[in-house]
Structure 1
């Protein structure tokens, strides 16, 4: 993916063979080229209907407005115009004295599926002499649905399945637990009795990037070695943390969390790395599970 710093100056060379420590600033003084500022963009489509700006840049400013067409390239698109998105204008104008403008795209929230990863291929219609072969004239815009986030959707009854159960809780296939909002931290919940009764776990939801809905967890005690292994190891505490080498995430569209955890005993060693799947369910669904013995 190329990255251009939008502006009227484009650095295209490094001065070589400079005498002593002196150097001069090198600026672009070549032909005028037009291009998308990047070859790929990802946008989170929300129900609030935000308009996304796809930047276009020029290598040099001129003293007149430059208006040119933008077309959708079907061969590199799987999003459908008018169904999944709107192209708000088929033209873009870089005003006199400026080097940047935006093509505007608006996603249609209701028509994008939870797991859709839809691409809009865009192309600038410009004269051949204004096309820079180094960068081309195309760009892709990827649209992904981002459902509204409500921390309360991750409270109440929760189904827990874990690969840890297979190794050390062999008579357990699923646990039904209760969760509540953490009163001491924003966007955080308390998972009561996650693995073992009496051992609660705090789980945090990262809201910085809508396209990367991650969960985080500090190291915590999740049980004791007597209950897990039938004997005491180390200080008796079974510790859990979230390894950074794997991605743990949540879905606000489907109200679930997929989390990797590593379990170890301090001073003894690592038990293993496991996958937890947490699924929040309704009270009615929970009552049915209770009737089945969960």
Structure 2
């Protein structure tokens, strides 16, 4: 009897689990629409002139290829096609059985200044039945920013460091002049010498995966006892 009860409880638990899983998914059952996946994109233009994709999405799959024209809206663009960028395909194709296609764009690195903020607007040319303009627009804006090659040696030498630690624990000190050096054998890593006090060094590693969102990684640090650092209790 005990085994039967345990079996029944297991079956009920399994049914509850299946029911909860089925509630996590919502299937779209409306009309078929075509739109840009977002209304704004930001891309880094690098020295290698890499191609970047501007995605176009469909709300439903189809059993045939769907191809649509794409055009630039000059009045909403300050980047010049052919000078600052190239559109490699003036049409976008969403292949049969798929829901995303890409407009391929290539920035022209040498013609973009370091401080330039250049962009252009793309518009989809689709039949009216595919438009969903009451919720989503048929255009998107692309912003390009020049991204110079990363060189870890640009971060070695003398530098000025600021820290809240200084203002809290060092009287009348807001920053320190210290020296940094590249750590050999460790990728994109520099060593900050004497950051808080003489003999206290700190490693910083640069994460360069996303040129538009550069990050610095640092291990957890222990500054040391007060007496060790400043000779006080």
Normalization by structure 1: what TM-score? 0.60
SS where residue 54 of structure 2 aligns? strand
Over the residues paired in the alignment, what is the CA RMSD in angstroms? 3.3
* Structure-2 residue corresponding to 1:46: 46
d(CA) in 2 for partners of 1:124, 1:196: 59
Structure with larger Rg: 2
Are residues 1:111 and 2:118 paired? no
Change beyond 3 A, Cα 1:123–1:197: same
Change beyond 3 A, Cα 1:98–1:182: same
User: Does the CA-based 8 Å contact 1:202-1:217 persist in structure 2?
Assistant: yes
Change beyond 3 A, Cα 1:212–1:171: closer
Higher relative contact order (CA 8 A, sep 6+): 2
User: Does the CA-based 8 Å contact 1:93-1:101 persist in structure 2?
Assistant: yes
* Structure-2 residue corresponding to 1:178: 179
Paired positions, count: 211
* Structure-2 residue corresponding to 1:86: 86
User: Does the CA-based 8 Å contact 1:158-1:179 persist in structure 2?
Assistant: yes
What pairs up with 1:188-207 in 2 under 5 angstroms?
A: 188-207=189-208
User: Does the CA-based 8 Å contact 1:199-1:221 persist in structure 2?
Assistant: no
User: Does the CA-based 8 Å contact 2:79-2:85 persist in structure 1?
Assistant: yes
Q: Which runs of 5+ in 2 are unaligned?
A: 1-17
More deviation, 218-227/145-154: 218-227
Change beyond 3 A, Cα 1:217–1:169: farther
What pairs up with 1:233-244 in 2 under 5 angstroms?
A: 233=233
Normalization by structure 2: what TM-score? 0.73
d(CA) in 1 for partners of 2:231, 2:197: 16
d(CA) in 2 for partners of 1:94, 1:137: 16
d(CA) in 1 for partners of 2:61, 2:222: 61
User: Does the CA-based 8 Å contact 2:162-2:174 persist in structure 1?
Assistant: no
SS where residue 129 of structure 1 aligns? helix
Are residues 1:121 and 2:121 paired? yes
SS where residue 152 of structure 1 aligns? helix
Are residues 1:159 and 2:149 paired? no
Whose helix proportion is higher, 1 or 2? 2
